[in-house]
Structure 1
Amino acid sequence: MLLKKYTLILCLFFILFNCKEELTITFIETKITTSNNNLVEVTIPKAIENSIISSEINTEVSNLVIAALQVGDTDTKTSKSIEESINAFNNEYNAFNTEFPNISQPWEAQIDGEILFQSHEVISISITSYVNTGGAHGSTHISFLNFNAATGKRIKNNDLIKNKAAFETVAKTYFNTAIEDEDDLFEPNEFKLPENIGFTENSIILLYNQYEIAPYSTGIIDFTIPIEKVSAYLSFNSSN
């Protein structure tokens, strides 16, 4: 009798442990600013659990925001936090405005993030940044970040897809439908997957930023594929 009771307790422990392991990461919308900020708006999702998974995800998102606010040499990251980047952006503008006081157009930066998709296997986050440092027009850039939900590590595009050739065949069909004029493309006869691949509950999103495959005037090119059309070629179960 005692052995049966012990076995039952042990089984319940493993059930509770497994349920805990399957809990999804919780995100909250976070607005970040500083006391001296007049130019930058940052609203991004933040994983709130005190865990390595949350830390990995939050670090990747923060690094992307820091890079988006970098003025000058984008390969040299000088800020260690989003707050430092916000202050640096404002300081750069103030220095520019002091040197060129007759140029009245203010700088601005707006960065917004959202959770596109979340399962027990993958978390897909979209970060949209608009930055204008006084030019004729600002620059909009969208980034999709995909994470392993069990580790928080970022997943590279090649690791999202297990059968690239088959995936590209399907993607090219939807790409051709989305393109209004092939003459707008830099290389109209060559198809390549975009740098940004994201997920929603029912579809996969492929997105080309400005200048990636076409001139600025063409804008951002994106299209979606129903998830059931490519689920067999993905490295994770998109229905979980």
Structure 2
Amino acid sequence: MTKLTACVLFFSFALSACQLNTGETERANDTVVVDTLAYVYEDYIKYSKNLIKTSETTDTTFFAASYPVFDDSSANRFVRTALLGNDTTTVEEAATTFIGEFDRFQAYDPYPRVWTSESHAKVFGNTPTYLALAIHASSYTGGAHGNYATVFKHYDLQTGKSLELDDIVSQSYQNELTAVAERYFRDQENLGVDQPLDNGYFFNQGQFNLPDNFALEPDSMLFLYNIYEIKPYVNGQTELRIPYRDIERLLTDRAKRIINELNIQVEP
């Protein structure tokens, strides 16, 4: 396994991280959501036995993860798939792979440095029929800086299947969703209606597009662009919220049911 493969293994699950501006992706207005499925958080960490010594410090590589554990086995399979890429790999196996790759690489690296991998899944939505995770990830395996991302994953408890954007807004309405989103994006970025998007942004051919990465909040749909998606690294993540009042007719019946449940569970 190459160094790159180790990174891909870490990020293939859906990315998560513990020190990642998590407040930006928590529910707005400090509302409290009453959870439905019972769960507890489990923490895991594994260190390399190979120490990296410099003139100033002695440190070592580590793999850390935290995630919810449910009484429901299907929900736990969803968590493993969201966190690690499939439901057959365990956190311990992922950690062993990451640490093993570091140990092999550093043995031939003339300037070895500590690697880190942190992945933390938090329950973002939990209703009678719906479960959502906000997965934060960060890693460093050399270079000028590490990488980080936040990815949302969605699960229908009734069907036992993951939910994608097409399940929230059908494909036939997504062009209209994009048009509404662009208006909000331009307003948020202080851009004129006809101002080009190919200067300072990474949109393909200057054409606005939405990421597949979204979250359902009680009053709005949140789209999250991670680093490098549309802006340079220094600009970090970009959040874009679209109020349901502007896209209600575009939402599927399943989406409306979930949103209604989210609002019922919000306590003042």
TM-score of the two chains, using structure 1 as the length reference:
0.73
Equivalent residue of 2:161, what SS? coil
* Residues 113, 180 of structure 1: alpha-carbon distance in 2 compared, 3 angstrom cutoff: farther
Equivalent residue, structure 2, for 1:232: 249
Equivalent residue of 2:249, what SS? helix
Which of 28, 38, 41 is the matching residue for 1:29?
41
Q: 2:219 touches 2:243 (CA, 8 Å); kept in 1?
A: yes
> Identity of aligned pairs, percent?
23
1:111 paired to 2:119: yes
Distance 1:176 1:45 in 2: 37
**1:51-200 alignment to 2 at 5 Å?**
54-55=73-74, 57-67=75-85, 80-100=89-109, 102-103=111-112, 105-162=113-170, 163-179=173-189, 182=197, 183-187=199-203, 189-200=206-217
Which digits, 9 at most, give the CA deviation of each residue in 1:184-216, with x for residues without a partner?
212373121112011123321101122323333
Q: 1:160 touches 1:234 (CA, 8 Å); kept in 2?
A: yes
* Residues 201, 27 of structure 1: alpha-carbon distance in 2 compared, 3 angstrom cutoff: farther
Equivalent residue of 1:214, what SS? coil
Q: Higher RCO, 1 or 2 (CA under 8 Å, sep at least 6)? A: 2
Equivalent residue, structure 2, for 1:18: none
Give the C-alpha shift of residue 82 in structure 1: 1.5
Distance 1:29 1:203 in 2: 27
Equivalent residue, structure 1, for 2:233: 216
* Number of residue pairs matched by the alignment: 202
Q: 1:206 touches 1:222 (CA, 8 Å); kept in 2?
A: yes
Considering fraction of residues, name the structure with more strand: 2
Distance 1:168 1:121 in 2: 27
* Residues 217, 144 of structure 1: alpha-carbon distance in 2 compared, 3 angstrom cutoff: same
Distance 2:100 2:247 in 1: 47
Structure 1: gaps of 5 or more residues: 1-22, 68-76
Q: 1:178 touches 1:222 (CA, 8 Å); kept in 2?
A: no
Distance 2:240 2:99 in 1: 35
Distance 1:66 1:117 in 2: 20
Give the C-alpha shift of residue 165 in structure 1: 3.2
Q: CA RMSD in A?
A: 2.6
Q: 2:83 touches 2:121 (CA, 8 Å); kept in 1?
A: no
Give the C-alpha shift of residue 62 in structure 1: 1.7
Distance 2:65 2:250 in 1: 35
* Residues 160, 127 of structure 1: alpha-carbon distance in 2 compared, 3 angstrom cutoff: same
Equivalent residue, structure 2, for 1:44: 67
Name the stretch that deviates more: 138-147 or 174-183: 174-183
| Greater radius of gyration (CA) | 1
TM-score of the two chains, using structure 2 as the length reference:
0.66
